[in-house]
Structures are given as structure tokens and as C-alpha cells.
């Protein structure tokens, strides 16, 4: 039993050959800092500009008056399916 206690004591003092002797970390008086919070993406611009505008259809043809639905998709005022178009004004 005494030999086991001596062996444990020697291992604690000598430590592992790759890690060095057993030491307790010094207290710095402060806690480790937390990771910064993730940045939030910018909010999308307000979607209150739903006024009709002139757009040029991507498939060609004459400009039409349409309401923006989002992205490059517009709903023509004359009816029909939504179209992909490029606005001709702001």
C-alpha cells in the first residue's frame, strides 16, 4: 500500500513526460470572455413602394405597366400571368 502511495506521489510531482509536472492554473481574477454575438443581417427595405411602373419584359415586346411583386417579377395591370421584367424607371 505504501508503494502505491509513493508511486502516485512521484507521478504527481514528476508529471507526464510530454506535459511536464502537474500544476494548477493561476487565477487571473476574471472569467473567460464569451464569444461575440453573431451579426444580424440588415433588414430588407420597406415593401411599401407598390406603385405601378413601366417595365420591359425579359421575353421581349413592348413595355407594360405592372406592379412589382419582388425581385424581377411584376404583375401586369392588364391581367395575365406574372412576368419577369426590367424596370424602366425608379
| pLDDT number for residue 14 | 58
Q: How high is the pLDDT of residue 46?
A: 56
Number of domains in the chain: 1
Residue 71 lies in a domain: yes
Q: Does residue 68 form part of some domain?
A: yes
67: containing domain: 51-90
The 10s digit of each residue's pLDDT in 51-78 is 899 999 999 999 999 999 988 899 999 9
- Structure confidence at residue 4 as a pLDDT band (50, 70, 90): confident
Query: Do the Cβ atoms of 53 and 68 come closer than 8 Å?
Result: yes
φ and ψ at residue 86, rounded to 5 degrees: -110, 130
Residue 30 counted as domain residue: no
Tens digits of residue pLDDT in 10-41: 666 655 555 555 566 666 666 666 776 777 77
CA of residue 46 relative to chain centroid, distance: 21
- What is the structure's pLDDT at 86? 92
Rounded Cα gap, residues 65 and 75, in angstroms: 9
- Quote the pLDDT of residue 13: 60
pTM here? 0.46
Cell output for 23: 500544476
Amino acid at each position: 500500500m505504501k508503494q502505491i502511495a509513493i508511486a502516485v506521489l512521484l507521478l504527481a510531482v514528476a508529471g507526464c513526460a510530454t506535459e511536464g509536472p502537474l500544476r494548477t492554473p493561476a487565477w487571473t481574477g476574471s472569467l473567460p470572455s464569451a464569444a461575440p454575438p453573431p451579426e444580424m443581417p440588415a433588414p430588407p427595405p420597406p415593401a411599401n413602394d407598390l406603385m405601378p411602373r413601366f417595365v420591359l419584359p425579359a421575353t421581349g415586346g413592348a413595355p407594360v405597366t405592372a406592379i412589382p411583386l419582388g425581385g424581377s417579377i411584376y404583375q401586369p395591370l392588364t391581367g395575365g400571368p406574372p412576368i419577369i421584367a426590367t424596370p424602366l424607371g425608379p
